[in-house]
Chain A
Amino acid sequence: RKEVEQDPGPFNVPEGATVAFNCTYSNSASQSFFWYRQDCRKEPKLLMSVYSSGNEDGRFTAQLNRASQYISLLIRDSKLSDSATYLCVVTMNTGFQKLVFGTGTRLLVSP
């Protein structure tokens, strides 16, 4: 089982739609969680951290479910500019601390 798993997609949605991605992680001792955004042929950039109580940044909402070991990203009112790959990142301690990236979920928003 992969340490961090994401549905690769692509998720094809029309402008204005609401879309949600999940990311599951295998290590119950995982400590920190993040969503990064990566545009085609560009570097990843931090979208938002994920806090235990859940957090919101404009149209984006991130949530953590420790019991089921997954994090989620909800995007409301999708824009064309939201088209990108969304990477889930988890820090975990398996004898030493490490950051593990998921393979990403691709989102395509169409007019």
Chain B
Amino acid sequence: DAGVIQSPRHEVTEMGQEVTLRCKPISGHNSLFWYRQTMMRGLELLIYFNNNVPIDDSGMPEDRFSAKMPNASFSTLKIQPSEPRDSAVYFCASTKSIHPMGNEQFFGPGTRLTVL
């Protein structure tokens, strides 16, 4: 298996532009998580899905952030409009079950976003 796939790996954009991050989870995994990593806040959960349904988006910082999972093999995280403070590494992770015990989360390589 190729593992969790994220694209792009790097994104540089200007303030005000729309940014779309993409994730393909591991086949057979039912839960998908989006995280953001910054020096100040560490690794914070933004939103997670179970069976393609958003379960908790309370970590999404603002209405400028939105996420979708149209099917079991694809998810997007969109920022519109982007701001310099959105600069971070964004990770996608997937797991077989939403319940953490015994269900390891597998992370993608991340997308490093820089908003100028």
Answer whether A and B are interacting partners.
no
Instruction: Give chain B's interface residues, CB within 8 Å of chain A.
Output: none
Residues of A with Cβ closer than 8 Å to B? none
